[in-house]
Structure 1
């Protein structure tokens, strides 16, 4: 997980699936011979694939902007099936200065609205529902950004790729603008040799009350895990009470997970909770793991997400994720995001001075004095050091700093000798 409050697909997403229905191969969406429909391609030039497991490449493209359009179908252009894991297409309101292919980075985060996705195992066009389309052009997105995730399992050298997406669009706008939202859990810790382990992530009632200003209608959903995924359920709760099961995968398969189409669409009201439960198996057959698995972008880590298509589009309602019990994308009742934790601030503090200050203040002979306790308190009371946030901070931030090992010893000694 990234340190910031919003998980950006451009970095790790790993988001890695599509929000729209997938039909049979061929002219899936009925667009190729429609005189009202045009298309353009967003496609990488032929470039080298790095010879390591996981890589993300991004490129921004200028698109038609002379009037308002609806994108109504997306067609994957796959040139190297050996390395392609997923593609994501984002809408951008301005030029980010990244019109050439590059390794995805923070500069790509301004393109945060998801338009379409393709993932491994999917064939055919990606269709929007007949009553809705993805708006772009005049008074909307001026650019699109393509993100491609390469998964080079054999770390094979001298591979190239120029994959991309074909976008079919029309000036005959449909009744609704389509929206997409990612729901799930970023705090995943699957113990080894465990046949059944559940992880739960929600778009809480508090978040939907803040982020939705009218009812929305879910047309499609997709549950996404990696290799240890065993089963998944996606449920709607209202006033704390179960309303209905939106979708479920009782026998999840990473390469063949289905798209669920909802007819009639599922109504979600402001204040409703959308709850995802992912079941994992680290014990059986090829899923057997002898070490703990955590959340991560690569297929050798795990995820627990539902990708949801809905209408009408609600501005800003594109991610609604939890880390442990914290809502990542909306403030808590006290107005603080993510429990007041900012991982960048913690990293800056511990790398800048804090760990060295602790070692200096708590050197042998003055372990229990005021200066030592004050510097230790600055670390231990930091919002990012509490509960599951603290577990994550120790594993991903502090463990990478050499002086942290010394501070662990000091903290244990202080607890044993100075705490009454």
Structure 2
């Protein structure tokens, strides 16, 4: 094994999330009718999550639902998950706990949320901000900003298999006049299959076949490995630090590869999709160019039936001393594993001393990943080290698990958004990735 400065840049790493699938909602009475207390007349699609769209930490009902085997049981029905004095069955229209999957509940109106304490209640309280502020990016509204939509070809067929990655290439700005990419918003055509999207900037023009139509791909390509946009279900958009942007055109990137990850567990052959991203550009260049670095362990071998399997990876000081020509500033950090991941941590070290936990050691849920943003940014000096720690449980597996892109494989990767980024250098010369590989 050796430490490789790899161009894997596998950004499925980024925010690989699974939204509140309809199969889960169909397992509880009125699962598609649970009201949203933050907005009258709308539903809380992620019933078991703290986020209305289902891409965040599980709420108390979600934890109880998971403990019940993701099934509606009499015990779960009689339980008062949110502590407001009403049973889950009373809140979901099954007061007698007799409902079965596929049947019509005893009541389909007058419902309430079983995982959210009623506002103003004296019996219970919520441990999180139930009604967070909506996504806001004032810079996108500047008159000088332009927006362009980049979506894969209309009605592209989705293969009848669980995991598919497709890529399509686009020209962003093939002129000598650069602009800064400052943010993005998702364009979701088929929410039944969309798992995540990543826009990779390309160092050279991709093969024409990628422009003509989406092609199946293994995540990042060697010539398209700079992550500039990330989306996973539950995110409304990206808004970069006001001092930074990705340089597009001029000596910056001119082409990009949009990667979509489709998750089709039912293996239906009738799905199509035309999803993509709306990208926002400003001609008024910001102070710094932004970049994304990927770190992690590529040599994963997880033995079966183990309560805990731990892998640690360090991007060592010798590498940052060699490849960092100046102090970097970290604006965001996140960790990525798949379904066997149970805990994770990213930490920044200087001369053997902990500087900061970029992602504190905490429970990890494949369905509810977390991304930490820093304002002000975190100083990342030459000679500093970044450690990635991943903890897995393979108790439910009877076979060895290896590193791979499929949701049944595993990963142990972290990503850092940073500035300044020297756009004149390729990733291999600026530590764009630092991943342990065999050889």
Q: TM-score, normalized by length of structure 1?
A: 0.69
Aligned to 2:394: 282
Aligned residue for 1:208, secondary structure, equals helix
Ranked by relative contact order (alpha carbons within 8 Å, sequence separation 6 or more), the top structure is 2
Contact residue 25 and residue 123 of structure 1 kept, 8 A: no
The runs of 5 or more residues in structure 2 that have no matched partner are 17-55, 57-130
Aligned to 2:294: 182
* C-alpha spacing 1:13/1:71, structure 2 compared with 1 (3 Å): closer
Aligned to 2:421: 313
Deviation at 1:82, TM superposition (A): 1.9
* C-alpha spacing 1:262/1:322, structure 2 compared with 1 (3 Å): same
C-alpha distance in structure 1 between counterparts of 2:315 and 2:152, whole Å? 34
Structure 1 runs of 4+ with >4 Å offset:
22-27, 105-108
C-alpha distance in structure 2 between counterparts of 1:157 and 1:186, whole Å? 33
Higher helix share: 1
C-alpha distance in structure 1 between counterparts of 2:257 and 2:295, whole Å? 22
Matched, 1:301 2:413: no
* C-alpha spacing 1:153/1:321, structure 2 compared with 1 (3 Å): farther
Contact residue 203 and residue 321 of structure 1 kept, 8 A: yes
* C-alpha spacing 1:229/1:207, structure 2 compared with 1 (3 Å): same
Matched, 1:33 2:150: no
Deviation at 1:56, TM superposition (A): 1.5
Matched, 1:109 2:210: no
Aligned to 2:15: 17
Q: Deviations over 1:178-209 (max 9, x none)?
A: 11111111111222222222111222212111
Of 165, 180, 185, the residue aligned with 1:70 is 180
**Map of 1:22-61 to 2, 5 A cutoff?**
28-45=136-153, 46-61=155-170
C-alpha distance in structure 2 between counterparts of 1:83 and 1:201, whole Å? 32
Contact residue 58 and residue 148 of structure 1 kept, 8 A: yes
Deviation at 1:53, TM superposition (A): 1.9
The runs of 5 or more residues in structure 1 that have no matched partner are 329-337, 342-420
Contact residue 207 and residue 320 of structure 1 kept, 8 A: no
Aligned residue for 2:6, secondary structure, equals coil
C-alpha distance in structure 2 between counterparts of 1:143 and 1:115, whole Å? 12
In the alignment of these two chains, the number of paired residues is 313
* C-alpha spacing 1:318/1:213, structure 2 compared with 1 (3 Å): closer
Deviation at 1:254, TM superposition (A): 1.3
C-alpha distance in structure 1 between counterparts of 2:328 and 2:189, whole Å? 37
Aligned to 2:200: 90
Contact residue 186 and residue 322 of structure 1 kept, 8 A: yes
Contact residue 5 and residue 434 of structure 2 kept, 8 A: no
Aligned to 2:65: none
Matched, 1:225 2:340: no
Deviation at 1:105, TM superposition (A): 6.3
Aligned residue for 2:13, secondary structure, equals coil
C-alpha distance in structure 2 between counterparts of 1:63 and 1:32, whole Å? 18
Q: Deviations over 1:344-375 (max 9, x none)?
A: xxxxxxxxxxxxxxxxxxxxxxxxxxxxxxxx
**Map of 1:21-420 to 2, 5 A cutoff?**
28-45=136-153, 46-66=155-175, 67-96=177-206, 97=208, 98-100=210-212, 101-104=214-217, 108-119=221-232, 121-283=233-395, 288-314=396-422, 315=425, 316=427, 317=430, 319-323=432-436, 341=439
C-alpha distance in structure 2 between counterparts of 1:300 and 1:7, whole Å? 23
Q: TM-score, normalized by length of structure 2?
A: 0.66
* C-alpha spacing 1:142/1:219, structure 2 compared with 1 (3 Å): same
Aligned residue for 2:306, secondary structure, equals coil
* C-alpha spacing 1:54/1:177, structure 2 compared with 1 (3 Å): same
Deviation at 1:33, TM superposition (A): 3.1
RMSD: 2.5
Aligned residue for 1:206, secondary structure, equals helix
C-alpha distance in structure 2 between counterparts of 1:16 and 1:322, whole Å? 15
